[in-house]
Structure formats: C-alpha cells, structure tokens
Chains A and B, each alone.
Chain A
Amino acid sequence: MSSEITELRHDAFVYGSQDEYVAKAVAFLREGLRRGEGAVVANTRPGLAVVREELGPDADAVTFVDVGSAYTRPARTLAAYHAVYAAQLQRTPSLRAVADVQFGPEPSEWDLWTSYEAVFTESFAHLPAWVLCSYDGNGLPDRILDSVWWTHSSVLAHDEWNASDRYRDPGPLLRQIAARPAPLLGARSIGFGRDVEEFRERLAAELVSAGVAEDRALDMLLAAGEIADNALRHGGGVRAVRVGRVSGRFACEIVDAGRGFDDPAAGYRAPRAGSGSGLWIARRLTWQVDFLRCPDGFAARIVL
C-alpha cells in the first residue's frame, strides 16, 4: 500500500467528543503511516497528550506541534505550518496532518481565521499533503461551525464524509470578509532615494526615531525591501513612500506607478518553484500588509 497523496487535500473534521477526536485522528494518521506517509498532529498540549497516549509506540513516527502560541496572525501561522510540513517532507514523500484551528473567543476576529482557512487551500496547494482541520462540534459557536463548510470542500462529520454544498472559492470569500484598511495616521513622506539601499537607510532612521526595537526594525526593513523590489520590477517604479501609524503600530506605505493587482491571496502562497516570495516574506514578518489604490498610485501598506 503506497501513498496516493499527490497534491493538497484540505478537509475538516467536526467531532462530538474528545474520544471521537482521538479515535478518528489516530485512525487517520495510522492509515497514513501504513502507506509510508508522514504524520503531523497539531493541537494544544493537552490535546497532543491524549493523541500521543492513544498512538502508543506509533507516536515515535509522528510529529507533534504545540499550537498554543501559533495562531497569532494568519501569515505567521501559515509560515509556522509550512516549516513543519517542509521538515516532514524532507523525510517522507507526502504527509497527513490533523490540525486544531484556534479561532479564539472574540467574534470580531473570527472572520480573520475563516480567511486563514480559505487561504490555506491556496497557500499549500502544491504540497502532497492531506490536512484535516479539527473542530469541536459541541464547544464552538455555530458561526464558526458554519464557516467550516465554506472553507473545506469535504467535511467528516457524524461518522461520514460529506461533500460541502456550501464551499466557496477562496478568492471571492476572502474579498467578502476582508476588513477595510484602517487609516494611516500622521502620514509623512520620506521619499525613496536613489535605490533600495538608500530607501532602507531612510526607513531605518524613521524606525530608530520611533523607538522600534532592533529586531522588529530589521523585520520591517526586510519586508519593505521586498515590497520596494517588487515596485521597481513590476510596478513601474516607486512614486512615494510614507510612514505613519495604523492603530498605534508603525506603518510604511510604498506607492508604485503600476496598475496594481487584485489578488486577495497575494503573499499567502507558500514559496514554490517558479513564483516570487517577496510578499510571503513581507507578510510573515509583519502584522499586516494591505494593498490599496490611492490618488498617487497603487500602494502597499506594511503595518509592523
């Protein structure tokens, strides 16, 4: 019996009890192990402990990921999973994963994590992986449980696989639930300079002046350097650079002369052969990257 996983399969599993979660997750992972696939289980520490115990000696072959602090921002979470999957795919040709998504208590941020689920399909489309996202059918609010059927084309619930008739294409769904960018307060032009190096020098002076910690300043310099490179290569050059604050965070806006693009998954696709990774880097290092049209061009706004 060999693996049949050749591309991403991103499904959901709605469980009614912890016993059901453990039994089905372990059966799913063991089936993969029998086929020579890698196995990953991502949950909080108590969730990992019960799966590990049920796996017994098979646990040796499973990668356990503590997600207690992983779900902070979608791009960072994707990057963390990507690292785990990449490490696993060094060892096996394909993998299975059971991942417990941490929506959190705040209804106003549930759309953000629904976006994460939607974009996950795009992000890892090229990977030979079967990812089963687990949801507590008795503990989670109906709104979250409804969204499971929008973001997974197939859902394991009530002991059977169900094709979702409410599944939505990621692009339109992402556009529908995207939050409008908050205003850039105290915006001030700093100019671009001769080249990316001078731009980084100018931006660094602003970051230091704003008291941004060294490590985070470097995050912003790297992210902004990637965006500036893109503006020079694909956007017809940089027209303006502004810095300011968005909801209290340091922000930098780079305006290019191009027509721009309308791709809500831009920067969320994991690195792969034949496609650029600049926006992926920018997103994973910062709080948020927004793209917007403004009077002087097409702007990428990086919020640290």
Chain B
Amino acid sequence: MTGAARLTTDQERELVVATEAGDLDACHRLVEAFLPAIAGLARRFPRSLGVHRQELLQEGVAGLLFATRRYDPALGTPFWAYASYWVRKAMQDLVAELTMPVALSDRAVRGLAAVRAARNEHLRRYGTEPTAQQLAEATGLGRSQVERLQTAARVPRSFEEPTGDDRDGAVADQVRDGPAEEAFEQVLDAIEVREIRALTDGLAERERAVIRAHYGLGAPAQTLKQIGESLGLTAERARQIESGALGKLREALARPAPVRRSLDSRT
C-alpha cells in the first residue's frame, strides 16, 4: 500500500496512467484517493493568508493532475513522492498570486486562473491559441467575461482602482465560498470541464461523425459503406470526408511558423 492513498503500487500506477490517458472514471478515483493527502497539504497554509481552503484544494487537484501528465512510472519513484511537489507548488503559486501586490483584483485573478488553465490545455492538445469562445466553453465563463479578463491581464491596474466593481462581479459569481465538504464535488466538476476537449473540435459535425463511426470511437465501428448509407452518401464520398478531416487535423498539428522569405531560404 502506498501511504498517501492506500492503494497498491500497481493500482496506483494503473490509475495514474489511465488518468493521463483521458479515463475520467480513473481520474475521479485518483482524485478521491489522494484528496485527503491534498487536504493535508492545504491545511499547512495559514488561514490568515486569506486564501480559501476550497481554492487551495482545487489548485492542489490541478497540481495532482499535472503530475499525472508528467509522471513516468518507469523511473521508479512512488507517485505521491513525485506529485506532492507539484501539488504544493500549485498551492504556493496560488497563494503567491493572491497575496502579492498585483494590480488585478483577487476575484479577477481567480477567473483568470481558470482561463489560463483552459488556454494551456488547449495549447497542449492542439498547439494553437484558443479563441475567446473556446475558452468560454472550456471554463463556463461568458465570452465577454473571458475577453475582459484577458484584456485586464495585459493592462495592469493601479492599487487605487476599485476591486469590487461590476466588471468583476460576474466572475466573482463563478467562485463560490462553499464549506469544505463541497470542495470535493466542485473539484470534480472542474475536472470535467478541463477534460471535455477533443482534437476534433475544429472539425465539422459530419467530419467528426465519420471518423468516430469508422474507427468505433464511442460507438460500434462501421464500414465506410455503412456510414455513407446512414448519411445518404456513397462510400467513396464518406472516404473523401474522412480523408479531408484527417488532412485538416494534420495541417493544424504541423502548421509552420511564419518566417520571412529572406530567412526561409536559408533553412
């Protein structure tokens, strides 16, 4: 048994690997197993810092999930020995950000943290900058809220500016001050939001449907002939749609950075 989560080493590794591979059920079980250990680290931060325990837990869970994306079981280090550093660091970064004399209000910083997490996840998945709409969908914030937060992040405000005006009110509504026992469910909700993403988001609905049906992703696999019949198309047309969709994904994943022609010729 591992000390932090009372899992066998094999169970722990399976959960970590499955979580990194996108298995939401494994993700929930992993968080559930390590939440007491995360809460233990959160309790080490004095309440006088003014950071809510629930926020520390959420950052801690984000740190745990980050650790799953980086942890290599082959290196032989027990998971919690590895992950606790990232959990603690995530909490420390939040505390530093909320307590340092930055120009944004702390409520705006909290909303901005969600936007940044969504942006990073998008970058990791697609290698492209997300649109404001994509960030809004990923965070549950309104598009205008996202845009205001992004603008605010680039334009520091002075200390004297009011921090509780209407501009931030809607964002503040997203951060509830629930009791500690609510934190767990909210943490899991946050996980759902972060994980519901797909490489195929940039494709048309019909393109997604053809790929998923052909390769049995989320439904029994079908031949291109069957897919074509269900869509009122020929098999060849279904093949063309799939080929075009795969080409779009490839192009998005391998788009070169623009380099001026005079420079380009030397590479």
Contacts and interface: CB of A to CB of B under 8 A. Distances in A.
B146 interface: no
B93 A44 contact: yes
Contacts of A271: 254-257
B70 interface: yes
Nearest to A274: B267
Interface in B149-178: 153-156
A52 B77 CA distance: 37
A222 B155 contact: no
Nearest to A281: B253
A85 B128 CA distance: 10
Across chains A and B, which 8 residue pairs bring their CB atoms closest together, nearest first?
A213-B22, A277-B254, A86-B257, A204-B215, A46-B96, A126-B267, A105-B85, A248-B17
Contacts of A217: 215, 217
Interface residues of B, number: 74
A250 B21 contact: yes
Contact of A128 (B85, B93, B128, B259): B259
Interface of B is mostly: helix
17 contacts: A6-B263, A7-B263, A45-B97, A52-B103, A59-B155, A59-B156, A68-B120, A73-B69, A82-B257, A104-B85, A125-B267, A218-B215, A247-B17, A248-B17, A273-B267, A280-B253, A304-B21
A182 B124 CA distance: 25
Interface of B: 13-14, 17, 20-24, 62, 66, 69-70, 72-77, 82, 85-86, 90, 93-94, 96-97, 100-103, 113, 116-117, 119-121, 123-124, 126-129, 153-156, 197-200, 211-212, 214-218, 221, 239, 246, 249-250, 253-260, 263-264, 266-267
A72 B124 contact: yes
A93 to B, nearest CB: 6
B249 A222 contact: yes
Contacts of B126: 83
A277 to B, nearest CB: 3
A279 to B, nearest CB: 10
A86 B258 contact: yes
Contacts of A41: none
A71 interface: yes
A222 B129 CA distance: 21
B254 A281 contact: yes
Given A52-B156, A89-B258, A212-B21, A7 B266 contact: yes
A29 to B, nearest CB: 14
Contacts, number: 208
Quick one: which of B85, B127, B266 has the most chain A CB within 10 A? B127
A225 interface: yes
Contact of A218 (B62, B76, B127, B217): B217
Contacts of B97: 45-46, 49
B116 A45 contact: yes
Nearest to B112: A45
A274 B267 CA distance: 9
A18 B113 CA distance: 22
Contact of B214 (A69, A201, A214, A215): A201
Contacts of B70: 71-73, 104, 109
Interface residues of A, number: 79
A258 B251 CA distance: 27
Contact of B215 (A76, A89, A93, A200): A200
A68 B117 CA distance: 9
Given A49-B100, A217-B217, A225 B260 contact: no
B256 A50 contact: no
B123 A280 contact: no
Contact of A211 (B23, B96, B255): B23
A127 B259 contact: yes
A55 to B, nearest CB: 8
Contacts of B17: 247-249
A2 interface: no
A215 B198 contact: yes
A92 to B, nearest CB: 10
B199 A80 contact: no
Contacts of B121: 69
Given A70-B123, A127-B259, A247 B216 contact: no
Contacts of B214: 201, 204
A50 B100 contact: yes
Contact of B155 (A60, A105, A106, A284): A60
Interface in A190-236: 197, 200-201, 204-205, 208, 211-219, 221-222, 225-226
